[in-house]
Every structure is written in C-alpha cells, then in structure tokens.
Structure 1
C-alpha cells in the first residue's frame, strides 16, 4: 500500500541548543521553509512569534529546545516550540474553549520595558495557540512543555 501526503502539508523539525543565537537560527529556518513552500505572505508574523517563543525557551530554561513547523493544509501553519520546563505561561495555560471573549488578555509591557511583549504578541497575532505540559519526567529530569501557535 502506498501512502501519499497532499502537496500542501509538510513538517520541519529542528533541535536548538541552549544558546543565545537559537532565536536567530529559528528565524532563518522559518524564513527558508516558508519561502521554499510559497508561504512568504505569513513570514513576518511567523518569524516574529517563533522568535519570541524560542527566546522564552532560552531565557526561562537551562536546556535545549526544539522547533517544529507543520503545514496543516488549507494555508494553515502550526509552529511548536518544546523546552525542558513543565511550566505553561498564560495565555497558553487556558483550555482552547476558554480563549477569546472569555480569556483574560495579557497586558502589553510598559513603554520602555526590555521584555514582556512576546506572549502578548502571540495572543494578538496568532489565529490560535496552546500548550501542553509533558510532566516533570523520570528521576527529576524535566520532560518539559510544548507551546504552539497557528496562523
């Protein structure tokens, strides 16, 4: 039996070291993948939001991270970032049905603040988002979490 994937679906996965340059590598990967698959119209938003999630993974954990880009078909793209911390920040910690009108919006960072805008940007720019805790792992080794967004 032969299985053929539709031409508009694809996946890229990239393991990122705990390194301050990881966000740049992630942006370059997003740029190459989206250009290569004719999705350049979403590039700016996807590149920005990916960079924010990878930067948070670097700043709030001590281990590596992983980036996964998945074209879901019908023009949708899902970006997932895994890291070693099981803590899921808002708004990713809300059940999918509670987002939107019932969701408590994240307040923008004060003018002049050097951080605090990333998750606000995800909430404002992504079509949907979510997060899954993967638990604390065996013998104290963190299994981490996966945060994702779709555009």
Structure 2
C-alpha cells in the first residue's frame, strides 16, 4: 500500500472584487487555509496583516485585488497582495524601508502598514508595469512570517 504525505509547500490564490467585504473574505480564507495546514502558530498574525493589506488595496485602488498565500519549504509563509494602484507605500518602497509615517493620535486609520513592519519577519513591494498576466500596472506588496531560526 502506497501512502502519500502532503507536501509542506503549497500555494493558494484568491481574486477579490473591489468590495468593502473583501478584507473579511480574505481573513476567513487565511484562517481556513492555515488551520487546514496546521499553521495555527502564525494564523492570527497572518490574518491581521492580510486584512490590513487587502483593506488598503480596497481604499486606495479601484479594481479587484489578488491574494496569494505561499508556504515555502523552510517553514516561512509568504502573503502577497496585488492591486491596480502603482504607488508603493512605506515601508514597502525604497530605503529607508523601516520608516512608516506615524498616524496622528486621533486618526481612525493609518496604522496598518506600521503593523506589517512590526509583526512581519520580512516585507517588500514593487510597482508593476505591463504584466505578462495581463493585469496591467499596479503593485504587489508582500510579507513573510515564520520559518526556521537562522533561515535567510
């Protein structure tokens, strides 16, 4: 009898419409995927940071958003969020990447990217030109959490 062990690497992709409920759908998807893969140790962080990126994409772009969850073979989990707006905000843009503009104390928003910088192990982003996937211009923001100690 042959047994098949599930791979520790996997990818899930989700296309979300420009809808105020997209962040909730993204959170539910992240929770379900991570629970089904036994990655509960990073679930709350990934759920929060994904929600922040998808919310920003909804607020600052006009079209659909793509979410991609990737489990890498060293235990890291990478989350990427693509949207149609080309501006790459701090801390995802160029140096100094560790500086996130502070939100005013009485502001109702403006703290999400600071959460990414604080909670993620790595993050980055780039503006996209014409894509071979016919997505057009936009940007991809990503973050990583987890992994083995000492992994690059």
Aligned residue for 2:117? 123
Distance 1:7 1:23 in 2: 28
Assess if the C-alpha contact under 8 Å between 1:86 and 1:143 holds in 2.
yes
Assess if the C-alpha contact under 8 Å between 2:90 and 2:99 holds in 1.
no
What is the RMSD of the two structures over their aligned residues, measured on CA atoms? 2.1
Distance 1:44 1:108 in 2: 24
Structure 2 stretches of 5 or more lacking a match?
Answer: 146-152
Q: TM-score normalized by structure 2? A: 0.84
Task: Report deviation, 1:110.
Answer: 2.8
If each structure's helix is expressed as a fraction of its own residues, which one has the higher value? 1
Distance 1:34 1:44 in 2: 10
Aligned residue for 2:150? none
Distance 2:20 2:26 in 1: 11
Aligned residue for 1:16? 16
Assess if the C-alpha contact under 8 Å between 1:86 and 1:142 holds in 2.
no
- 1:84-140 deviation per Cα after TM superposition (whole angstroms, max 9, x unaligned): 01111111112xxx5xxx644214423331110011000011000011211267xxx
Assess if the C-alpha contact under 8 Å between 1:84 and 1:144 holds in 2.
yes
Show structure 1 runs of 4+ deviating over 6 A. none
Cα distance change of structure 1 residues 103 and 22 upon mapping to structure 2, 3 Å threshold: closer
